Amino acid sequence: MAQVLEFKLPDLGEGLTGAEIVRWLVEVGEVVAVDQPVVEVETAKAMVDVPCPYGGVVTARFGEEGAEVPVGAPLITVAVDGPADDDGRPAGEQRSAADGSRADGPRAEDSRAQAPRSEGSGNVLVGYGTSEAPARRRRVRPGQSAPSAPATPAASTANGRAATAAGGRASASLRARTAGAVDEPVPVISPLVRRLARQNGLDLREMAGSGPEGLILRADVEYALRAAGTQTGRDRTPTTEPHPRVPPAQAPAQAPSQAHAPATGAPAAPEATRIPLKGIRGVMADKLSRSRTEIPDATCWVDADATELMRARDAMRRFAEERPQNPVTGGPKISVLALLARICTAALARFPELNSSVDMAAREVVRHPAVHLGFAAQTERGLVVPVVRDAHTRNAESLTAEFARLTEAARTGTLTPAELTGGTFTLNNYGVFGVDGSTPIINHPEAAMLGVGRIVPKPWVHEGELAVRQVVQLSLTFDHRVCDGGTAGGFLRYVADCVEQPAVLLRTL
């Protein structure tokens, strides 16, 4: 006899509390192997294929594509091979002739004691290992027989509707509960089901769900509402004249809402569009709000002549093109972002106060020994901040390659949670959007962010004469708790000096 195991959404790590179902990879009735991906979900940080630790036949799926699923909520149920007794039921499960409930006897205890413990698959997701799955027993409500096979959601819903149709509104979706069971948790997972019931005045504590183990589904609430509407209509059926006429003298005055209603045929005013804050955008909203609430930030900025920096970048490019076969000098083109990142790591070595965070619980400023440099990347899914680990140990070529790899992963949605967390300082190149300046919001819990505007030709006094130079605006937003304005100004001035004269970096290389 097959044993039905329920696979729940695992903890995906990094404090994530749920995920959105993007695409189901299996169908009901399909045979799956151990560690086979069954669903593709989108967390607040990345796209993840979730593998199932059980092998068998998929008997049910929970949630449609696009639905939000909290951690710990069931994803699928899988029927796997298990021990069975002579009449086809799992060993130790006997149905009582009186009420159809399940009775566990000594044979059941022996069977559970002797059942071999399955080994974990060893496949590890972030924050989750597919260790041994605990044996589950299907809970049977009084008055129902123990199922000999797993019930699909459609069959369960049909059973719930058949039971609902037996009575009026009171018995539409209610079950008998004792006085001591009022404080039991309501078997509802989906927030949509809770909202639907709340908007229509239904008490979920009194409803009997048709899902696994009494889970209340949306179909249960909708059917209860239809049954309640039918019963209400019967209660209001008139026994005398169906449409009593009201004398003209007694006609009620027109309601204000009707008096000011637009004439028939007039175009209705467009309704506002509500866009849910979820996924990456939801996490960014929470993080930016927290940054503005907790961090007393300040911003300083300066214009810099980036002509020499651009010339140095062009010289590096020409040098690599002239020696493409040289393993030392040949390589990818050095990006301006990589040069700015190298300047940032040198500046943070001189001003380590800005490579820190604040622990208000301990009332301490935590200075980080390594520079994990985040950089803002705009994607179709929203703004993400990938992190370059140990940026202070990388040269311009290594930084260019890592920026390219992380940017491509961000565009395809394959960044891992580890690549999106743990930053200590952020570089924001908003100049790619064609703007000169900004006052960026600090990426909590970091203490500073350097913003870089577009590099454009502008009039500039160079060596005492007016000339057209490549000018860029630099801005630094910093947490005033970690340093004073003098430190922030010194950091920004050093960055500007390196942009104007890249040879300044040679002193510290």
> What are the pLDDT digits (tens) for 126-180?
434 444 444 444 444 444 444 444 444 444 444 444 334 434 443 434 344 444 4
pLDDT top residue among 402 and 81: 402
46 vs 169, residue with greater confidence: 46
Sequence-ordered list of residues with C-beta below 8 angstroms from that of 89, at least 6 positions apart, any chain: 1, 95, 146, 148
pLDDT digit string (tens) for 76-126?
999 887 554 444 344 444 443 334 444 444 444 444 444 444 444 444 454
Q: How confident is the model over 385-412, as a mean pLDDT?
A: 93
Contacts (Cβ under 8 Å, ≥6 apart) of 367: 352, 353, 355, 356
Q: Please state, in angstroms and rounded to a whole number, the distance separating the CA atoms of residues 375 and 385.
A: 5
pLDDT over threshold 80, residue 16: no
pLDDT of residue 509: 65
pLDDT band with cut points at 50, 70 and 90 for residue 479: very high
**Residue 219 reports pLDDT greater than 70:** yes
Quick one: pLDDT band at residue 404, thresholds 50, 70, 90?
Answer: very high
243 part of the active site: no
| Rounded Cα gap, residues 207 and 156, in angstroms | 14
Integer Cα distance of 221 and 216 in angstroms: 8
Up-side HSE of residue 466: CA atoms within 13 Å toward CB? 2
As a whole number, the mean pLDDT across the chain is: 76
Residue 257: pLDDT band (50, 70, 90) is very low
pLDDT over 90 at 500, yes or no: yes
pLDDT in tens, 173-206: 434 444 444 445 667 666 667 778 878 888 877 7
The whole-number pLDDT of residue 302 equals: 96
Q: Residue 17: what pLDDT?
A: 77
Q: Angle 35-131-4 (CA atoms, 0-180°, nearest 5)?
A: 70
- Position 88, amino acid: G
Q: C-alpha distances in angstroms, 163 versus 67, 222, 224, 227?
A: 28, 14, 11, 11
- 336-350 and 485-500 helices, crossing angle to 10°: 140
Least confident of 283-297, 357-371, 386-400: 283-297
Tell me how far apart the alpha carbons of residues 380 and 20 are, in angstroms, rounded to a whole number. 16
Give the three-class secondary structure for 472: strand
Q: What is the mean pLDDT of residues 35-54?
A: 84
Calpha distance 84→87 (Å, rounded): 8
In angstroms, rounded to a whole number, what is the distance separating the alpha carbons of residues 54 and 31? 10
Say whether pLDDT at 435 is over 70.
yes
Task: Look at phi and psi of residue 279 and say left if phi exceeds 0, alpha if psi is from -120 to 50, else beta.
Answer: left
Q: What are phi and psi of 345, to 5 degrees?
A: -65, -35
**pLDDT tens readout for residues 308-356:** 999 999 998 888 887 766 655 556 789 999 999 999 999 999 999 999 9
Highest-confidence range of 55-59, 85-89, 213-217, 455-459, by mean pLDDT?
A: 455-459
Q: So what's the pLDDT on residue 242?
A: 43
As separate numbers, helices (DSSP H) first and strands (DSSP E) second, the chain gives 10, 23
Q: Looking at the whole model, is its pTM more than 0.85? A: no
Query: What is the pLDDT, as a whole number, of residue 151?
Result: 45
What are the residue ranges of helices labelled H in 200-242? 218-235
Indicate the helix (H) or strand (E) that contains 393: none
The predicted pLDDT at position 402 comes to 95
For residue 432, the tally of other CB atoms under 10 A from its CB is 13
Tokens of 238: 């008139």
Q: What percent of the chain has pLDDT over 90?
A: 38
d(CA 166, CA 169): 10
pLDDT at 44: 66
Statement: residue 469 has pLDDT above 60: yes
* Range scoring the smallest mean pLDDT among 241-245, 373-377, 391-395: 241-245
Secondary structure class of 334 (helix, strand, coil): coil
pLDDT of residue 13: 63
